Structure 1
Amino acid sequence: MIEIVPIADVNEDAVEQLLDRAFGTDRHGRTAYRIRDGVPALPALSFAAIEHGALIGTIQCWPIAFTSAEGAVVPLVMVGPVAVEPVRQRDGIGRMLMHHALDTAEAHGDSERLMLIGDPEYYGRFFGFSAERTGGWRVPGPVERERLLARGANVPIGAGSLGPLLVDA
């Protein structure tokens, strides 16, 4: 039986090793990493899938910001990566983690301001994400425009850029 637990309950090295197996050791240079650079994942929205004591999947969510062309800052939540042990991909573990994270975001009042970079057919069909609002968004690196997805009434439309949500101490 698969158990979903807070990612904070799992060894950080084990999470990093799973991410390396799922996405490769060169993953740190990707645009998604640049968007959330320097901020920790949101503990309340980041989870691990455990089966028989073994880590088989993770999902992390990050505080990011959309800064409009006029300088207005809109807080968003970046969903992902969703990582699943390669031999267990296509077993529904990623979908289970996404549902859990989205349900938790709903409970925390964050479900109307979500974005991710991913397959538009998959994330649109199963989770309601689309590129309708993201056409004017700039990101710190290359991205296939159709893979820049968002969902929720509080997602901004128009020109602006994405980056980490920096909070003054």
Structure 2
Amino acid sequence: MEAERKIGVAVDFSGCSKKALQWAVNNVIRKGDHLILITIRPEAYYESGEMQLWETTGSPLIPLSEFSDPAIMKKYGVSPDPETLDIVNCAARQKEIVAVMKIYWGDAREKICEAVDKIPLNCLVIGNRGLGTIKRAILGSVSNYVVNNASCPVTVVKSPHHE
């Protein structure tokens, strides 16, 4: 019997992250896996809610039933879009997997690498916004940083269109 695999997918609910999620479901996820959606929110001062409780360690693992509930997710300052929820719900049903979300606050590059180690993940799938050379030099590439610094295999799913 194989040990349970924890497959991470970095999601920000953009087109490229939905493409990465769909790619992971189609090509990596198999029956019995744990699909862990990693989402990063910018650092900010939050007066109330779960964000203040979990800002240094990230949220607890949020089950699919809860991250599908807009009222619960509002407490975390996150609002998953219907398409992302549909991809995850279909995968959970059809492939018989456990799907959870973990939310971090801070720099996306560092927090994604932190998630890889703390959860820990067997592999990570991340989208690529397809920034041009100049924008990438100024903004930095999250996917490039994660590929070079994560302690697990990372697959970058490129987006064919600039967003």
Answer yes or no: same fold by TM over 0.5: no
Question: Normalization by structure 2: what TM-score?
Answer: 0.27
More helix by share: 2
More strand by share: 1
